[in-house]
Structure 1
Amino acid sequence: MWTQPYRKNDLEAGARPLYPLMQESPELRWAFIRKVYSILTFQLLATIAVGAVVVFVHPIAHFFVSTGAGLALYILLILTPFLGKVILESVILTTVVVMSLTLYTFWAARRGHDFNFLGPFLFGAVLVLMVFAMIQIFFPLDRISVTIYGCLASLIFCGYIIYDTDNLIKRFSYDEYIWAAICLYLDIINLFLAILTIFRATE
């Protein structure tokens, strides 16, 4: 008796393993992935809402500045210099890149690719970026150097999106959905800021 091949909707149903040699239940892993992306969506929408309110509602912006609220002030300082089409361009490009890398990682995982080896390299690259950013405080860079810095930062956080998405598919435990969402959130925000830096430097 012949066995029926996988149908197209088996991926959404979770009946087909996400990667070769998968030992856990695909249904449970898909439920975990949906939970993480739901939290991530809420985080990003909340960030956009808070940023928009702080930037465009001046009494609220003044309130945050006068009370020294760290997060709101951070958002204000980041977004204020980039008002206009630069933000929209950065959001569009970030969205396209994140969706493309996410789909690619799921596709690659299905075919047996593993991106766990990226971890040490990405960690070292972030350390270099942090030191480089501190050096800029004392020795400001010109536009070309800032553009190069933004491009390198964008590549690094693109790597982190692939790395953390791969961990989401294979390694995060079901109790680590908050940590998984935070990791992806930080990757996306840092990618957005890096792209924003590039557009700002090339204006």
Structure 2
Amino acid sequence: MWSQPYRKDDVEGGELYPMMQESPALRWAFIRKIYVIISIQLLLTIAVAAIVVTVHPISLFFATTGAGLALYILLIIIPFIVLWPLYYYYQRHPVNYFLLAIFTLSLAFVVGLSCSYTNGKVILESVILTAAVVVSLTLYTFWAAKRGHDFNFLGPFLFGAVLVLMLFALIQILFPLGRISVMIYGCLASIIFCGYIVYDTDNLIKRYSYDEFIWAAVALYLDVINLFLSLLTVFRAADS
């Protein structure tokens, strides 16, 4: 079905990469759907984070009470828990959207709590730089894909880099190394998630099946959020 020949006059923007076998119109429709979902996720994240930042009793509850700390840990764990049922029900409506909403809301609270203890100027700088980087890398990946470049080779390297990053974070928690090490960690994380934006966008263009729109949205949403939090870490350490 997806390998039917296509006509140039009914294609939005032409083929996305050389020797494309599927219908470009269908792939463009799939890409639009993903970016609509991600836009809604980001708007929801901004709204929740803004409430957490502006309503001070919320951040005070999390910072000063044992129940708040326990709830904060739960909010960090919930996205990982939700991924399991999402793996089995990602094609079942409306369960998949409900699980995606829980996933997004829990991460939105974590982002809001991270921002609530941060200077407003630092947050603004992180938002602006994140938006600029995401848009630039997305446009670059589409441009490169159209010219035959493939970024699938980045997968193993990025996975290994994330493992190193996790070990770095664990060492930093157990043996704090100071402000410079925090900035180094943030810079490394920013570079890694820039790579993931290119890698996941390339997969969106070429590899995700039409039924995997939930996973495509989750992957790119996580890339954007992690890039923002990494940049926030760098600017916050530099500002302190």
Q: Output the TM-score relative to the length of structure 1.
A: 0.88
**Structure 1 residue aligned with 2:135, among 99, 107, 110?**
99
**Structure 2 residue aligned with 1:32, among 30, 33, 40?**
30
Stretches of 4+ aligned residues off by more than 4 angstroms:
59-67
The unaligned stretches of length 5 or more in structure 2 are 1-7, 76-105
**Structure 1 residue aligned with 2:191, among 149, 155, 170?**
155
- Whether 2:229 is the aligned partner of 1:193: answer yes
Q: Distance in 2 between matches of 1:110 and 1:77?
A: 40
Q: Matched residue pairs, number?
A: 194
Distance 1:132 1:34, change over 3 A: same
- Offset of 1:16 from its aligned partner? 1.4
Q: Which moved more, 1:83-92 or 1:143-152?
A: 143-152
- Offset of 1:83 from its aligned partner? 3.0
- How far does the alpha carbon of each residue in 1:21-65 deviate from its partner, in whole angstroms, 9 at most, with x for none? 100000000000000000000001100100110121134556777
Distance 1:173 1:195, change over 3 A: same
Aligned to 1:173: 209
Report the 3-state secondary structure (helix = DSSP H, G, I; strand = E; otherwise coil) of the residue aligned with 1:82.
Answer: coil
- How far does the alpha carbon of each residue in 1:66-117 deviate from its partner, in whole angstroms, 9 at most, with x for none? 5736236633431122131100000000000000000000000000000000
Report the 3-state secondary structure (helix = DSSP H, G, I; strand = E; otherwise coil) of the residue aligned with 2:117.
Answer: helix
Distance 1:196 1:62, change over 3 A: closer
Q: Which has the higher contact order (CA 8 A, sep 6+)?
A: 1
Q: Which moved more, 1:143-152 or 1:38-47?
A: 143-152
Q: Output the TM-score relative to the length of structure 2.
A: 0.75
Percentage of pairs with the same residue: 70
The unaligned stretches of length 5 or more in structure 1 are 1-5
**Structure 1 residue aligned with 2:160, among 114, 124, 130?**
124
Aligned to 1:112: 148
Conservation of the 8 A alpha-carbon contact between 2:52 and 2:112: yes
Aligned to 1:77: 113
